[in-house]
Structure formats: structure tokens, C-alpha cells
Amino acid sequence: MTTTDASNRQSTGGSKYTGPIIDTDVHETFTKWTDLVPYLKEPWRGLITNGAWQGTGNPHVHWAANGVNRGDSQPADGAPAGSNYELLREQILETYPITHAILTGQFMPAVMPMQFEFATALANAYNNFVSDHWLARDTRLRASIQLAPQDPQAAAREIDRLGPDPRFVQILLPIGQWSYGDPFYNPIFEAAARHNLVVAFHHTGAVESALGKGRYYIEWHINVPQGAMATLTSLVVNGIFDKFPTLRFCILESGYSWLPHLLWRMDQNYRSLHLEIPWVKQLPSKYILERVKFSTQPTEDTSVENWLRLHDMLGTDKLLVFATDYPHWDFDSPEESVPRALPADLRRKIFYDNAQELFGFQD
Amino acid sequence: MTTTDASNRQSTGGSKYTGPIIDTDVHETFTKWTDLVPYLKEPWRGLITNGAWQGTGNPHVHWAANGVNRGDSQPADGAPAGSNYELLREQILETYPITHAILTGQFMPAVMPMQFEFATALANAYNNFVSDHWLARDTRLRASIQLAPQDPQAAAREIDRLGPDPRFVQILLPIGQWSYGDPFYNPIFEAAARHNLVVAFHHTGAVESALGKGRYYIEWHINVPQGAMATLTSLVVNGIFDKFPTLRFCILESGYSWLPHLLWRMDQNYRSLHLEIPWVKQLPSKYILERVKFSTQPTEDTSVENWLRLHDMLGTDKLLVFATDYPHWDFDSPEESVPRALPADLRRKIFYDNAQELFGFQD
């Protein structure tokens, strides 16, 4: 109701109302979420006191005090985990015999709801920041070209800009709600192929399962590999492996023990239904086993015998590449994650040879 | 514009327009999709001539001439595949030594966009139809109670109505977009527990992957197990196994070779993040290995050695129950789907013992 309307109503006569009033909509609030702490029992109280739930964002919360990060990875000055070169050097490069570390970032304008042009500008700016603040400081570091794939032509231009720089060894495509086999992403793969860059995929907070995000962080986290599985299916059925025969791929942080299942199921379906996708010229498993690597982190809770059974099922020891996922909470230490009882040559392939071959690093 | 308006406009004077006219919106159509056949090349022409694409429904098509059904399963009178008892008896009950066949239907009001009350009425009507037209004709047949789980209280009433009938041995919950761990489905599980009914899950056309339905039938079909994986996760994290300690479950037609991965990943996450779900009292793998069965169909294209490796990884030979999926195109014959070279006692467990124990059938 406007002021004018109100004035008109007053002017229609009658006396001022002086009786009791019921206001049926008044919005009180509290000052901060922690005002609710005295009124909660555990475990809900802890969700707020440890800062895990801040009333926004995902439907679930991070229960650990440091959220998704390793407790010791935050710099003493309060800067974000993973933002300090000296600490990263101390905690991984100097602690383990790491010859090359591939920076994958955690700033992905692909997942931000924003204008396409601004997303592209942010991705390009971040790549320049990485060049100046990270790559320039340590020759062991290599980087991923971050992209805003929602504008594939702009993403291709960014790949063409940085592709000649040998310190950028891969492009990084975030896994969320995007089916990268869809034709409008082809310019990105064309550009990666022009510069012989690895195409890496990494999940983001935007990834969901077949049933959505779920209500718990553990639920979301258990289901994260479904995004990688569906991405591989999308690449295969849309013929990306055929259209770009030189491209190599790497699936990061999505596991690998689901791979025997997916390869068997893909091949079985291909044998029955290949008429639907005549542009796919061979069994899906053949493309994947030849041209896709999988990072080990997060290694799963299973035995040495099962590691070996998985390798026997896959029929190759060239698939896995090691990763720590520093500085995140489920960091994999080279000393504990890959079982010591595995054969020495398999451990060497996982820790070094397979990635060395993927990226073409010279010894 | 109304007639009245038009009349008014005519009446404002001037002469009738006699010059040329451009009509910028006229909707022509064709008589039937096959009118486009002469204008298409293969493989697109075949999509229409074989009836695979009818211009409606899912984003993908069934390429086989009989759609999702076995070519020989349609009755001679043109009735739908799976609708004729005599043909079903001949094609499976008399062809193989099947002592019990669990009817799972393909009519699921859960996936129909309709009023809750009508969906419930349809489910109840279908259950009565199954009782009269199927169960009454052959004592080898057992049935699933079809439900409209979108109204959990009504579904529970239907379970209470049919639960005392020993011919109904399970309830069937369709996998689509529903997270059955969510508390509002609890009345369904309570009712199933009251009547000691198995809770079976089966995917529907509504199931999607982490990246949606995809554009191809093969893509959708490869990714179907993601619905079952996410359903198991939902049941675990929401404490359904703890709330209903006597309930047993069965996952139908979603595979099982992904299970080692899912169990390892669930247990690893539980060890790190169990604080978030304090109502879950033990490792997820323990619940699943003790209380969930998995139907074999569709068996995957893999070797006897890999069947045995999978069983070694799971540490039990009590998980798998046999299924044909009659009358669907990817029908599993008892003579070919479970490898003959598997140990005799394992084949016996898969073909009979495990399901006999699950449903409590008396020999």
C-alpha cells in the first residue's frame, strides 16, 4: 500500500482506531547463529560452536574444525590453507621426494553463478596469478589452466594463450552439472589437442549424485565418484575419444575401484546398443584403458590383496597416478596411502612412472 | 483480441484492406513422424522406421525393434510383452527349473505425475489385478506389493492390507529421484517390518545419473546403477538399518560389481566422518553385507576369474540372487549369464539358496 493510498483511506472519515491490535507478521532475529548454542544439545550444538554450519551454502556441513582442510595447513597469519608457498614447500615438497607437483587450485569460476565474461576474466586472472606467485617460485611446480567452460570459445582462447607455456601441463575441467561430451564443449578439446595438454577432471562442490546432493556431507562425499563415472560415459558415447584421437585424460580425486564395473558395463552395453552411437568405433574400455589416468587419492580402506585384485581385473598397471590432495582433510601421505607391501615396480609406477609418461616429464 | 474489440475496430471507419498480407505465424504439421522418413539418412531414418522414436518421452530412444522387450516375448495377439501368463510360463517357468518367480511388474504409479490419491488407487488396483490374474494361476509365482510412496501413510496402509497374504513376499520401491532414507518414508519401512516383508528397490525410467539422463539410451543405461548406489548411501546415512533392525533389502537390476568400491568408500568415510551421523552405529559395509541382496541381472561381460575376484573382495558368497528380467531385452538366461565354470556350490547359492533364505521359502 502506498502513502497516497493510506492518505486516501484516512481521508474517508471515521475516528482513529484505539482498540487492541494483532500484528500477524513481525520479523525478529538473533544477532548471530551462536545465540542458539545455549538452546541446543549435542551433536547439534557442536555444529555451530565449531563453525561447521554457518547458515548458508550446501545442505550439509563440514564437521571437522578446519572444514575441508588439514588442521596444520593453515598458515600462522590466518591466511587460507594452501595459500602459502613456504608452508606448502615444507609440508609436501620437502617432506616427501616429490619431483613434480601439479597445482590444481580450488578457485573455479565454472561453478560460480555469474556472467560468462566475468567468469572468463576471473579464470584468466587466476592463471596469471598462479604464474607469478607459484610457478615462478619453484621449478617443481606445474599448473592447470583454469577455465570458465560455460563459454567454450573463450576457454579455447585461454588455452591458446597459455598452451605454449610448458609450465602449464593440463587444462582443468570441473565436474559439476556439465556433460562434457556435449558438442558445444568441443572447442575446449580442440584447443587442448592443439597444445598437447592433458585434460584433467576434478569434482567441485557442484557435483551431485543420482539422487542430488543429499543431506549430509558424508553422503555427498561418498557419492562424489558418480560425477566422474557419468563424465566418462558422456565422453565415450559422444565420441570425444574418436574426435580427438591424441587427447589424454586424467580423473582426479574420484577414486578408481569402480572402474572394473564401469568398463564391464560399458562394454556390455556397447555390444548390444552400439547402433545408437555409430561414431564410437571400438569398445569403451579400450579408449579408457589406453587414454585415461586416475589419481589414487582418496585411497580406500582395503587390503593389499584387493589392490592387486583390482589391477588384475583392469589388466594394466599403468592407470594410477599418485596425488596427495594437499591441503585437504583427506590428504593421502605417500608413506601410508599406497600400501608398502605392494610390489616395488607397481609402487614406482603409481608414484612416478605413470604420471611422468602422462605429462612427458624428462627425468 | 475479442470479437467485440474487432467489431469496434471495423466500425471506426476506413475501407477494407485489399493489399498483400504477410502472416508471420502459421502452424503447419505432418500427418505422422514417418512422413519424414524420405528426408532422412541412416542411422536417423531407422530411428523412425523401427518405431524407436515417437517424438515423446525420454531424450533418448530404444533402438531395438521391440523397444525394451525381448523380440519373442510379445504375444501373438499383439498384447504387451509380459502380459500373457501362458507365454511367460512357456518362456521361463517351463524352460528353466524355476521353483519360484518373483513378479516385479512394470506399472509403477510412483513415477507418474498425478494426484497422490489417484496414484495410490492405481497401485492398490494393480496389486488386486496381480492377485487375480497372476498369483491365482500358478503357485510358483510370488508378487511385489506396488506402492505410491509419494504418500507414505497410504503406502503403509496398502502394506498392512496385503502383508498377511503370503503370496506377496516383498514391497517394491522404485528408484527415481527419491531418497528413501528421508524420514517421511519411515512409515513404509515400519509397515514392511511389521509384516516381515523384503524391501526391494528397482530402477525406473525416472532414474538419472550425476549428470542427468544424458542424450542416449546407452548413456542412461550405463549409468542406471548410480541410482542404486545413492539409494544405499541414503539408507545408511539416515540410519534406516538401525531404525528397522529386522528389515532385509534387495537391489534389483542395478548390478553389483560396483559394490566393493562403494563399501570401501563408505567405510573410509564413516571412519573419518561418523560424528556427522551418530545414529549410525557400525561400519556401513557391515549393514549391507548382512542385510542386502543384489540380483545378478544384468550380468556383466567379464571372466570367471573376475567373478571369483569380486566374491573374494566382498568376502561372502551370500549376496547374489538370480534374476532373468523377463521379458526385457537384456534378459539373462540361467544357462548363459552365470558362468558354468563357477564352483557348483556358488552357482547353487546364486540360483537358489540365497533367494530361498531371503524370502524364507520352504523347500
Q: Is the pLDDT assigned to residue A6 strictly greater than 60?
A: no
Write down the pLDDT at residue A45. Answer: 81
Q: Is the pLDDT assigned to residue B48 strictly greater than 90?
A: no
Using CA atoms, how far residue B311 sits from A290, A314, B253, B319, in Å, is 27, 16, 18, 9
pLDDT digits (tens, 9 = 90+) for A144-199: 999 999 999 999 999 999 999 999 999 999 999 999 999 999 999 999 999 999 99
Q: Is the pLDDT assigned to residue B3 strictly greater than 50?
A: no
Are A273 and B234 within 8 A, CB to CB? no
Are A268 and B177 within 8 A, CB to CB? no
Predicted confidence band at B40 (pLDDT cuts at 50, 70, 90)?
confident
Contacts A309 to B, Cβ<8 Å: 309, 312-313
Q: What's the whole-number mean pLDDT along residues B310-324? A: 96
Are A233 and B226 within 8 A, CB to CB? no
Which of B63, B258, B269 has the CB atom closest to A258's CB atom?
B258
Chain B contact probe: residue of A70, A180, A204, A211 with most B CBs at under 10 A: A211
Q: Which residue has the higher pLDDT, A201 or B215?
A: A201
Q: What is the pTM of this model?
A: 0.90
A214-223, A260-269, B59-68, B298-307: the lowest-pLDDT one: B59-68
Q: Return the exposure string of B28-60: e unless at least 16 CB atoms fall within 10 Å of the residue's CB, then b.
A: eeeeeeeeeeeeeeeeeebbbeeebbeeeeeeb
Which of B60, B231, B329 has the CB atom closest to A211's CB atom?
B231
Cell numbers for B35: 512422413
Residue of A nearest to B235 (CA): A219
Instruction: Pick the most confident of A109-118, B38-47, B49-58, B277-286.
Output: B277-286
Are B218 and A312 within 8 A, CB to CB? no
| In B153-304, beta strands by DSSP E | 168-175, 198-203, 249-252, 292-295
Whether residue B230 contacts residue A209, with contact meaning beta carbons closer than 8 Å, is answered with yes
Contacts B260 to A, Cβ<8 Å: 257, 302, 306
Residues whose CB falls within 8 Å of the CB of residue A3, separated by 6 or more in sequence, listed in order: none
CA end-to-end distance (rounded Å), chain A? 76
Q: Is the pLDDT assigned to residue B44 strictly greater than 70?
A: yes
pLDDT digits (tens, 9 = 90+) for A110-134: 888 788 888 898 899 899 999 999 9
Write down the pLDDT at residue A37. Answer: 82
Averaged pLDDT score across all residues of chain B: 89
Write down the pLDDT at residue B143. Answer: 95
Are A265 and B306 within 8 A, CB to CB? no
Q: Is the pLDDT assigned to residue A3 strictly greater than 60?
A: no
**Amino acid making up residue A34:** T
* Percent with pLDDT over 90 in chain B: 67
Q: How near does any CA of chain A get to the CA of B24, in Å?
A: 31
Using CA atoms, how far residue B60 sits from A210, B318, B330, in Å, is 18, 36, 17
Residue of A nearest to B211 (CA): A177
Whether residue A288 contacts residue A264, with contact meaning beta carbons closer than 8 Å, is answered with no
Predicted confidence band at B338 (pLDDT cuts at 50, 70, 90)?
very high
CA distance B272 to A218: 9
- Report ipTM (2 d.p.): 0.88
Residues whose CB falls within 8 Å of the CB of residue A249, separated by 6 or more in sequence, listed in order: A198, A199, A200, A201, A235, A291, A292, A293
Q: What's the whole-number mean pLDDT along residues A79-94? A: 91
For B145, the enclosing helix (H) or strand (E) is strand B141-146
CA distance B231 to A209: 10
Are A273 and B218 within 8 A, CB to CB? yes
CB pairs under 8 A between A and B: 200
Are B223 and A231 within 8 A, CB to CB? no
Which of B43, B216, B269 has the CB atom closest to A237's CB atom?
B216
Predicted confidence band at A256 (pLDDT cuts at 50, 70, 90)?
very high
pLDDT digits (tens, 9 = 90+) for B125-177: 899 999 999 999 999 999 999 999 999 999 999 999 999 999 999 999 999 99
Averaged pLDDT score across all residues of chain A: 90
Write down the pLDDT at residue B56. Answer: 59
- Picking from A228, A129, A213, the residue whose alpha carbon sits closest to that of residue A178 is A228
Write down the pLDDT at residue A239. Answer: 97
What domains can be seen in chain A, in order of their start residue? 6-359 (3.20.20.140)
Are A230 and B233 within 8 A, CB to CB? no
Q: Is the pLDDT assigned to residue A60 strictly greater than 80?
A: no
Q: Is the pLDDT assigned to residue B1 strictly greater than 50?
A: no
Q: Is the pLDDT assigned to residue A309 strictly greater than 90?
A: yes
CA distance B249 to B227: 15
**Amino acid making up residue B107:** F
- Picking from B250, B256, B260, B266, the residue whose alpha carbon sits closest to that of residue B224 is B256
Which of A216, A225, A276 has the CB atom closest to B217's CB atom?
A276
Predicted confidence band at B2 (pLDDT cuts at 50, 70, 90)?
very low
Contacts A272 to B, Cβ<8 Å: 329-330
Q: Is the pLDDT assigned to residue B6 strictly greater than 70?
A: no
Q: Is the pLDDT assigned to residue B32 strictly greater than 90?
A: no
**DSSP SS3 for B273:** helix
Does residue A57 come out as left (phi exceeding 0), alpha (psi in the -120 to 50 range) or beta?
Answer: left
Predicted confidence band at A8 (pLDDT cuts at 50, 70, 90)?
low
Residue of A nearest to B285 (CA): A301
CA distance A202 to A328: 14
Are B227 and A211 within 8 A, CB to CB? yes
CA distance A85 to B279: 41
Which of A218, A269, A301 has the CB atom closest to B264's CB atom?
A301
pLDDT digits (tens, 9 = 90+) for B68-97: 888 898 888 888 889 899 999 999 999 999
Whether residue B230 contacts residue B290, with contact meaning beta carbons closer than 8 Å, is answered with no
Strands A249-252 and A292-295: parallel
SS (H, E, C) chain A: CCHHHHHHHHCCCCCCCCCCCCCCCCCCCCCCHHHHHHHCCCCHHHHHHCCCCCCCCCCCCCCCCCCCECCCCCCCCCCCCCCCHHHHHHHHHCCCCCCCEEECCCCCHHHCCCCHHHHHHHHHHHHHHHHHHCHHHCCCEEEEEECCCCCHHHHHHHHHHHCCCCCEEEEEEEECCCCCCCHHHHHHHHHHHHCCCEEEEEECCCCCECCECCCCHHHHHHHCHHHHHHHHHHHHHCCHHHHCCCCCEEEECCCCCCHHHHHHHHHHHHHHHHHHCCCCCCCHHHHHHHHEEEECCCCCCCCHHHHHHHHHHHCCCCCEECCCCCCECCCCCCCCCCCCCCCHHHHHHHHHHHHHHHHCCCC
Q: What's the whole-number mean pLDDT along residues A263-270? A: 97
CA distance B115 to A149: 41
Instruction: Pick the most confident of A15-29, A64-78, B9-23, B58-72.
Output: A64-78
Residues whose CB falls within 8 Å of the CB of residue B195, separated by 6 or more in sequence, listed in order: B159, B160, B163, B164
Q: What's the whole-number mean pLDDT along residues A8-26? A: 73
Predicted confidence band at B319 (pLDDT cuts at 50, 70, 90)?
very high
